[in-house]
Amino acid sequence: MRETGAIILAAGMGTRMNTALPKVLHLIGGHPMLRHLLDALQGAGISRQVVVIGWGAEAVKAALPEVQFVLQEPQLGTGHAVLTARQAFADFEGELVVLYGDVPLLRQRTVSAMLAAVSGEASADLTVLGFRTSAPSGYGRMKLGADGGLERIIEDRDATPQEQEIDLCNSGAMAGDAGMIFELLEAVGNTNAKGEYYLTDIVGLAGERGKRVTVFETQEDEVMGVNSLAELAAAEAVFQSRRRNEAMDNGVTLSDPGSVYFAHDTRIAAGVTIGPNVVFGPGVKIEAGARIEAFCHLEGCHIGKNANIGPFARLRPGTRIGATAKIGNFVELKKAVIHQGAKANHLAYIGDAEVGEGTNIGAGTITCNYDGVDKHRTEIGKGVLIGSNTALIAPLKIGDGAIIGAGSTISADVEGDALAVERAELRLMKGWAGKFWQRKRAAKKAKETKD
């Protein structure tokens, strides 16, 4: 039976990035580039996939522990990299797709379409993913033959000024019969500007052997290569724009889409409204009808139906907001479970805590969850009223229906329906202030007359 395989090339040093982090581990939408490609391969019917690593191999392995790797040592070029993976495909029969780890925005449907182009009858022997661009510099140029097929790929550095005019560029992705690809690679030499074994040279060799090679064309923004931090930022922008459009297509209202930043796994239901300048870190899920107002930062949290967040709220990992709950300005939550209808509308820190249904957290409430060594929990029941400017010293339990007087520092459990107030007795001295002012003003006047 014929299988479908994939090889991702990720062994290069990424010299132009100028960073210690291996290139393929740089993040887009909070996700390593390599993971974006592995996601794109999911659903493309791939039965065997191998990632070729070399430079920074240990870091790449640690970041993606579940992946099958082969080590390319030393790194002698993209063609040499694919040959390194040959052993892993020794008993393999079928089509192979080769992807470059630094071309991270490739879509699953493109991978599937390329594989379809080289499978079945009337198919090409080899297809290479290309794109047209007004800035081809740095990319391999695709030279077409008289019959419209792909004749040759000429690397930027090896191209004549005339060839450099070609605007059809190589994305790096190609698909074809695995046996044929490995066989062609054996014939590839390294007499070129970089002294490397280029994968792209198999195109010319395939033509010489009577194989049919085609270009599979796609849009530039899907296949832009990431070789520098400026290109990484450009890829991030493309990713964000994709996500914003997807969200709006799915019924999410974005009042200023360009200022909302998504993570790779942000899940937002139809009917959610998001204001300007909102940033989603990884792991956010928002249910229908919720509103996220301007300037919020959310990460690792779940927002229930019709909840209201912000403006200016920060939700950190482990936070769950129940339906219709309200989290207002300058409220920070961490590992906090806020039940249905509860409110923390102004200036609060609620960490390692549970807040019961309908409870109201006053302005300036702080859960003192850290004793300098360990973290402790605060459990607040249903229908509780926490007065403003309250310090809740964890571990602490406050029962249902209790009231905490404003300005209290609560260091012991409070039972349900109790009032807890911890503050000095109020001293009220009638007329004291009036006499004070009189005395002060008279003294000042006497001093001025003397001067």
Q: Which residues are annotated as catalytic?
A: 346
d(CA 422, CA 31): 48
Give the CA distances from residue 195 to residues 79, 189, 357, in Å, rounded to whole numbers and listed in that order: 12, 9, 68
Q: Choose the contact partner of 139 out of Mg ion, ligand UD1, none; CB within 5 to 8 A by kind.
A: ligand UD1
102 touches ligand UD1 (CB under 6 A): yes
Cis preceding-peptide flag for 104 (omega within 30 of 0): no
225 touches Mg ion (CB under 5 A): yes
Among 190, 227, 240, 388, binds Mg ion (CB under 5 A): 227
Helix (H) / strand (E) element for 245: namely: helix 229-249
| Beta strand 360-361 pairing with 297-298 | unpaired
101 touches ligand UD1 (CB under 6 A): yes
- Binding part of the chain for ligand UD1, among 69-77, 237-245, 369-377, 419-427 by CB under 6 A, reads 69-77
> Half-sphere exposure (CA, 13 Å, Cβ side) for 346?
7
Least distance from ligand UD1 to the Cβ atom of residue 73, Å: 10
- Binding part of the chain for Mg ion, among 106-114, 217-225, 369-377, 420-428 by CB under 5 A, reads 217-225
Cis preceding-peptide flag for 74 (omega within 30 of 0): yes
Q: Choose the contact partner of 287 out of Mg ion, ligand UD1, none; CB within 5 to 8 A by kind.
A: none
In sequence order, the 6+-apart residues with CB closer than 8 A to the CB of 137 are 156, 164
198 touches ligand UD1 (CB under 6 A): yes
Question: Residues 293 to 312: which contact Mg ion by CB under 5 A?
Answer: none
Least distance from ligand UD1 to the Cβ atom of residue 76, Å: 6
Among 95, 102, 236, 354, binds Mg ion (CB under 5 A): 102
User: Which of 102/196 has CB closer to Mg ion?
Assistant: 102
Kindly write out the interface string for residues 274-293 of this chain, putting x where it contacts ligand UD1 by CB under 6 A and - elsewhere.
--------------------
Among 76, 232, 296, 384, binds ligand UD1 (CB under 6 A): 76
Question: Residues 210 to 239: which contact ligand UD1 by CB under 6 A?
Answer: 225, 227
Among 28, 40, 41, 52, binds ligand UD1 (CB under 6 A): 52
- Binding part of the chain for ligand UD1, among 10-18, 177-185, 303-311, 443-451 by CB under 6 A, reads 10-18
| Neighbouring C-beta atoms of residue 421, cutoff 10 Å | 12
139 touches ligand UD1 (CB under 6 A): yes
d(CA 31, CA 140): 27
Alpha helices in 64-214 (DSSP H): 78-84, 108-117, 178-186, 202-208
Q: State the residue number with the nearest CB to ligand UD1.
A: 140
Q: Among all chains, which residue has been given the structure tokens 């085609």?
A: 214
Looking at residue 289, its amino acid is G
- Binding part of the chain for ligand UD1, among 75-83, 257-265, 427-435, 437-445 by CB under 6 A, reads 75-83
Kindly write out the interface string for residues 150-179 of this chain, putting x where it contacts ligand UD1 by CB under 6 A and - elsewhere.
---x-x-------------xxxx-------
Helix (H) / strand (E) element for 170: namely: strand 168-177
**Alpha carbon 111 to chain centroid distance?**
22
d(CA 28, CA 10): 16
d(CA 205, CA 369): 67
d(CA 141, CA 130): 9
Alpha helices in 18-122 (DSSP H): 33-41, 57-63, 78-84, 108-117
Residues in contact with Mg ion by the rule CB under 5 A: 102, 225, 227
Residues in contact with ligand UD1 by the rule CB under 6 A: 9-12, 52, 72, 75-78, 80-81, 100-103, 139-140, 153, 155, 169-172, 198-200, 225, 227
